[in-house]
Structure 1
């Protein structure tokens, strides 16, 4: 149907004869939209304009937020931070007035919620990348979009979880990613709907990276490689949580024999009421 409509537009609609909408510079001549376009190209030529790299950031959606010390900015329920936000100049309100007075502008891409972007207030050509606070310090996790982020926050709200930071949300996010590709199906081909959903999200992240970097987007990784990425992220998170839990070497409790050597086994403890009775009898005597 789409091919049929496109063919009709090119062959019929664009070649229709213009009546009262004909150009004034060609009285008595027959013109169509295609002939007018050809005349304009002959008259003015074709001017190719390559967009600047900053155009990618300018067309992203805006968020007017405050910058919190050592925590960053909160964008649609998730926290983002970078070392540059700890500078003293960002602890003060911005120079913006009006409806969003004193707030800073952060831009985000719906296709990839792993980072947001902040324009330098002094050097306007510089954009700072703010990473999600839940990302591990080493390695990467698969890209996730607005839909996955909304599912993550809905899961936390439904189960009444109280994470102390976004790092506690990373295991929940990995569980959601695993639900798209169950562990039992990693060695084999998953369902068509699940494979299409994950490939679509990966393709959008690739397109976002291409728009940001100005280079051609790479092809999405094979399904087996994407499943290995999720598996590596799960293992890395579990290993990091285990290392954090072990603050030191575990100390073994003392043996029962050692505890018996330091005290008499058949010695009965003194009752406090006996001492009190003796004291009272001595006072009355």
Structure 2
């Protein structure tokens, strides 16, 4: 099969061009960063945290394999949030080092850039599986009820909903996710599949915050996905659920030389619409 070209192409000087030396320098110069916060997200739960622009945060498998669902918002305006489908088009369906997660319209700018990924070498396995996907979305109690007739309150959607409540957000703000450490793909029937998480203790995915962020992470109730959760062989995967760690780092000012937060999209049109003209006869 021929490798057909991607629809969206990066050209020199375009918004898709990444300053590779800048981000690689951030990943490599670990002695020029200071750990300012460390968080443990327990099994089957969610946690939210803020990250200032120009800082780095890292998600770590502190005990062993575990998948997670990540959401991102502009800390000052939650209407700007991660746009999974556009990121799939502009970057890849599975992301890694130097890929970016983009925000929704009308903002359309990189929210984070991935600076380091200990699973970058996983590549593509014999079933077409890859890690860190934007293909699937969060599990939720609505589908669970529909498929099983039972209520379960610790799906990723519910975990994220509880995590962001202290910040004044609701489940309407929860959106399609980045599935961190999750190995997925499309089978020969073009259907989404999930495999056991390939991460080991100490693996990580690291992000550079391009803007001030509110982040939320759910430790999936499916754990490392090594046990089936649906169908005739389904069982409770509690035994393969593990916590995850989050580390937030302040970078030395020298590492940020020449960098500034990306502006929002430049388009300022009215989508072809015109504003009604005032009726001066009546003074309005």
Q: Give the TM-score category using the shorter length.
A: under 0.3
Which structure dedicates a bigger proportion of its chain to strand? 2
Larger C-alpha radius of gyration, 1 or 2? Answer: 1
| Higher relative contact order, structure no. (Cα contacts within 8 Å, ≥ 6 residues apart) | 2
Structure that is richer in helix per residue = 1
